[in-house]
Amino acid sequence: MPELLLELLSEEIPARMQEQAARDLAQGVMAGLNANGLKVGDHDVEFFSTPRRLTLIVHNLPLNQPDVAEEKRGPRVGAP
């Protein structure tokens, strides 16, 4: 199964905020992946933090997204 490594560089993050920032990043990425059909559980995600980096590793990503059919309607043919 594929893996995703996401590393964000930033200005200095205070020590008391590092773990929560990494946890929030993990939750946001998981929510985005799950909303787009890539089902990821809490046990598939590891996160790390340092004063200047937030790192996230997602294990066991599905190979493909499920197919989605969307119909988007535009303006009427006779619209001015």
Q: Quickly state the pLDDT bin for 62 (edges 50, 70, 90).
A: confident
* DSSP string over the chain: ---EEEEEE-SPPPHHHHHHHHHHHHHHHHHHHHHTT----GGGEEEEEETTEEEEEE-S--SSPPP-------S-TT--
pLDDT at position 5: 94
Q: Does residue 78 have a pLDDT over 80?
A: yes
Domains in the chain: boundaries = 4-58
Over the stretch 35-49, which tens digit does the pLDDT of each residue have?
Answer: 988 888 888 899 999
